[in-house]
């Protein structure tokens, strides 16, 4: 029997049978793990109310390498009350957790992806920047963390640089901007939107306009769907 202790986040929880739950966890140590939680819906004292998304947990898993580990103990170690009491922040957190569930491969440590997700949840709890900006910034960083970062500076086909202050054609599924000479892309980013995306990708963008952020979020979600294989 192999026991694993780690910090973790709940990505999803599904009821199974009369009292059990199968939880998809993102752990800091071994990445995404599916775990059965025996008696969770009957008020298990070893788990209690710890299986809540957004809050940070410390977990003890019985992990023998099977498809499902067994969650033996869980306790909340990082409460984020402000994030769960604000509808916009809670919705942003839910989108990010869905991205992580689809994007991160099973049982593969993702230290950078873990850091990005935790920092997003902390930012949502602190209320700065706006939830949509924080989510867009985190989405770009999550794509980069697993090797799918969007190229916003030059054509992904011919490597021709796109000058500052210029609009660009973008293909989220292919991973970045494509110049017209190379066929262009299905989405045209206005210069202001491209500048916003570049600022967010660099970890800034606190003052990015709402309209630009919504376009960036749509692009990020399309890229996530293309690489992770989920339906939008």
Does 87 lie in the same domain as 72?
no
CATH number of the domain encompassing residue 17:
2.40.50.140
Domain boundary (25, 55, 79) is at 79
CATH number of the domain encompassing residue 184:
1.20.1440.120
Question: pLDDT of 22-55, one tens digit each?
Answer: 999 999 999 999 999 987 777 666 776 778 899 9
Query: Please, what's the largest Cα pairwise distance for the chain?
Result: 63
Query: What is the share, in percent, of the chain residues with pLDDT greater than 70?
Result: 96
Please count the structural domains in the chain: 2
Does 167 lie in the same domain as 58?
no
Residue 205 pLDDT exceeds 70: no
Question: pLDDT of 143-174, one tens digit each?
Answer: 999 999 999 999 999 999 999 999 999 999 99
Does 154 lie in the same domain as 203?
yes
* Domain interval for residue 66: 3-79
pLDDT score, position 208: 78
Does 174 lie in the same domain as 86?
yes
Give the span between the Cα atoms of 104 and 113, in whole angstroms: 8
Domain boundary (28, 55, 79) is at 79
Does 157 lie in the same domain as 74?
no
pLDDT score, position 65: 72
Question: pLDDT of 131-147, one tens digit each?
Answer: 999 999 999 999 999 99
Q: Which residues contact 93 (CB under 8 A, 6 or more apart)?
A: 53, 54, 83, 84, 120, 121, 124
Does 208 lie in the same domain as 112?
yes
Domain boundary (79, 94, 117) is at 79
Does 143 lie in the same domain as 49?
no
What is the residue whose two structure tokens read 């809670």?
90
Does 107 lie in the same domain as 70?
no
pLDDT score, position 40: 73
Of 64-68, 105-109, 205-209, minimum mean pLDDT range: 205-209
Q: How confident is the model at residue 206 (pLDDT cuts 50, 70, 90)?
A: low
Residue 1 pLDDT exceeds 60: no
Give the span between the Cα atoms of 135 and 91, in whole angstroms: 10
CB neighbours of residue 24 within 10 Å: 18
Residue 17 pLDDT exceeds 90: no
Give the span between the Cα atoms of 181 and 162, in whole angstroms: 12
Structure tokens given for 219: 């692009």
pLDDT score, position 160: 97
């Amino acid at each position: 029997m192999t026991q694993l202790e780690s910090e973790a986040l709940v990505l999803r929880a599904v009821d199974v049978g009369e009292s059990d739950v199968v939880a998809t966890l993102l752990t800091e140590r071994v990445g995404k793990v599916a775990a059965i939680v025996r008696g969770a819906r009957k008020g298990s004292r070893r788990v209690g109310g710890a299986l809540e998304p957004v809050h940070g947990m410390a977990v003890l898993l019985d992990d023998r390498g099977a498809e499902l580990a067994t969650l033996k103990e869980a306790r909340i170690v990082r409460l984020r009350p402000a994030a769960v009491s604000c509808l916009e922040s809670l919705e942003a957190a839910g989108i990010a957790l869905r991205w992580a569930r689809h994007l991160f491969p099973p049982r593969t440590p993702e230290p950078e992806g873990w850091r990005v997700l935790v920092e997003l949840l902390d930012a949502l709890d602190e209320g700065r920047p706006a939830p949509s900006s924080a989510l867009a910034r985190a989405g770009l960083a999550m794509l980069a963390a697993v090797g799918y970062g969007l190229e916003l500076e030059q054509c992904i086909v011919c490597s021709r640089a796109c000058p500052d202050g210029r609009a660009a054609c973008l293909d989220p599924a292919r991973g970045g901007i494509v110049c017209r000479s190379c066929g262009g892309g299905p989405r045209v980013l206005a210069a202001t939107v491209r500048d916003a995306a570049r600022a967010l990708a660099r970890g800034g963008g606190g003052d990015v306009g709402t309209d630009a952020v919504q376009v960036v979020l749509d692009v990020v979600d399309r890229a996530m769907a293309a690489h992770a294989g989920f339906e939008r």
